[in-house]
Amino acid sequence: MGRAFVYVILGGGVAAGYAALEFVKKGVSHGELCIISEEPVAPYERPALSKGFLLPEAPARLPSFHTCVGANEEKLTPKWYKEHGIELVLGTRVKSADVRRKTLLTATGETISYKILIVATGARALKLEEFGVNVSDAENVCYLRDLADANRLVDVMQSCTGGNAVVIGGGYVGMECAASLVINKINVTMVFPEAHCMARLFTPKIAKYYEDYYTAKGVNFIKGTVLSSFDFDSNGKVTAVNLRDGRKLLVDMVVVGIGIRPNTSLFEGQLTMEKGGIKVNGKLQSSNSSVCAIGDVAAFPVKVSGEIRRLEHVDSARKSAKHAVSAIMDPGKTEEFDYLPFFYSRVFTLSWQFYGDNLGEVIYYGDFSGGTFGAYWVNQGHLVGSFLEGGTKDEYQAIAKATRLRPAVEDLAELEIQGLGFAVAISQKPQSSPPPVDVSGSDLLLEKPLYAWHATAGVILAASIAALAYLYGRRRRRL
């Protein structure tokens, strides 16, 4: 028993939703495309799970955050898929894949064949058991990767108001969940082994700003140590977290955000792997020309840095999906994927964006005591990365554009003086062919800050113009 499709998308997350929209834009025919997903719902904007979904009041709920609302595109509800003749096979896990025969076997025993397969299986949350910690399925230990996890987290949070939570891990999920817990009136202690939060991206100085902000909100940080075990009550609930440094923390709930692992196992030994993911070329094609990979599971060439990278961020999922479909449906008109890495987050009233690479020397600018500040990374004499907290849409656009252009930076002291004005000036210079940059990943619609973000763009823009005028005048005086 089985069905056959021209195109099959394996996985029903962010990348799958954006790929489906692109297929429709490129004129896919009814009955040609199928999406198979283990999740019981149509593709949705996963970042909402740690933001709007966890709000105590007016939380985001489906169908409001189906893809592709995060990029201000159409909202693809199950009705949309039906109307466009796209088969949604939901709540169905694929348990094996045969790349040579071009077939997938589902856990329900159906064989689904394809001409072209797009692997969009994303990643799974790493579990404490994998690090030797016994959790025994305790109901008050939460992870956050999918909707089921998010629903569970909300239930546990609601039963713990006024109680104590420990958040294990100081990355994206840990930081965003900690903020949500505070907003839900839960006392939070964050525990992680690194010297500061967001260790893969933030410098100590940037991290300090966010840690100070969290501390002012009542979050307690315990750094440089890890969890060693839990204490349980007679119902199997965790009552205390024991740390390797000997401390014991009494808890009502635990949230674990210790990283993810790409879902590649179906293809191990069949496709070439790199950086823990499926290696693809600039058309998102794997070592088998009938199989593409997109999103968190794909390791693709990043032109601006000349490296193969696997990114775990929503913008790259959206854009790699779009590009892969374009390369399939319109090969003659599709160039190599030329992606500028882009990450962002929103917590409390804060909002930051980062573009490019955090390599080389760091130059800081702006007001670290509040408001708008940022950093540039300069490697081998060129701007390669930019970070900005509290910017306007135009300012984010400016740092994105400037980073893509990789301008030469001769004088680091001068760059520090110019600050944000440097990126603004670079981005406003006429280009022979303007680079394709958009900051749609900022998801203004969906992932509004957890508290309303009242920085008015006009005021900030006026301030930037004034700052630029001042710097320009100062520069002229220096010449």
Ligand X SMILES: Cc1cc2nc3c(=O)[nH]c(=O)nc-3n(C[C@H](O)[C@H](O)[C@H](O)COP(=O)(O)OP(=O)(O)OC[C@H]3O[C@@H](n4cnc5c(N)ncnc54)[C@H](O)[C@@H]3O)c2cc1C
- 3-class DSSP assignment, residue 285: strand
**Where in 94-236 does DSSP place strands (E)?**
94-98, 103-106, 111-119, 123-125, 141-142, 164-168, 187-192, 220-223, 227-232
Q: Which is nearer to ligand X, 314 or 378 (CB)?
A: 314
Query: Using the rule CB under 6 A, is 264 a contact of ligand X?
Result: no
Q: Compute how many other C-beta atoms are within 10 angstroms of the C-beta atom of residue 398.
A: 26
Query: Using the rule CB under 6 A, is 102 a contact of ligand X?
Result: no
Per-residue buried b or exposed e for 100-139, using 16+ beta carbons within 10 Å of the residue's own CB: eebbbbbeeeeebebebbbbbbbbebbebeeeebebeebe
In whole angstroms, what is the distance from residue 93 CA to residue 41 CA? 13
Amino acid letter, residue 382: H
Q: Which is nearer to ligand X, 346 or 401 (CB)?
A: 346
Query: Using the rule CB under 6 A, is 314 a contact of ligand X?
Result: yes
Least distance in Å: CB of 377 to ligand X?
18
Query: Using the rule CB under 6 A, is 88 a contact of ligand X?
Result: no
Tokens of 395: 């300012």
Let me know: does 254 contact 238? Beta carbons within 8 Å: yes
Tell me the Cα Rg of the chain.
Answer: 23
Least distance in Å: CB of 469 to ligand X?
34
Binding to ligand X (CB under 6 A): which residues in 344-403?
A: 344-345
Least distance in Å: CB of 115 to ligand X?
19
Q: Which is nearer to ligand X, 351 or 418 (CB)?
A: 351
Least distance in Å: CB of 354 to ligand X?
10
Q: Which is nearer to ligand X, 11 or 421 (CB)?
A: 11
Q: Which is nearer to ligand X, 18 or 373 (CB)?
A: 18
Per-residue DSSP letters for 16-74? HHHHHHHHHHTTPPTTSEEEE-SSSS--B-GGGGGTGGG-SSS---TTTTBTTGGGT--
Query: Using the rule CB under 6 A, is 450 a contact of ligand X?
Result: no
Binding to ligand X (CB under 6 A): which residues in 146-175?
A: 172-173
Query: Using the rule CB under 6 A, is 36 a contact of ligand X?
Result: yes
Query: Using the rule CB under 6 A, is 49 a contact of ligand X?
Result: yes
Q: Which is nearer to ligand X, 247 or 261 (CB)?
A: 261
Alpha carbon 252 to its chain's center: 28
Taking contact as CB under 6 A, which single stretch among the options 272-280, 339-347, 375-383, 403-411 is the one that binds ligand X?
Answer: 339-347
Of residues 47, 170, 356, 390, which one binds ligand X by CB under 6 A?
A: 47
Taking contact as CB under 6 A, which single stretch among the options 38-46, 219-227, 330-338, 401-409 is the one that binds ligand X?
Answer: 38-46
Of residues 22, 296, 389, 395, which one binds ligand X by CB under 6 A?
A: 296
**Where in 120-252 does DSSP place strands (E)?**
123-125, 141-142, 164-168, 187-192, 220-223, 227-232, 238-243, 248-250
Interface residues with ligand X (CB under 6 A)?
11-16, 36-39, 46-47, 49-50, 93-94, 120-123, 144-145, 172-173, 263, 266, 295-297, 312-315, 317, 343-345
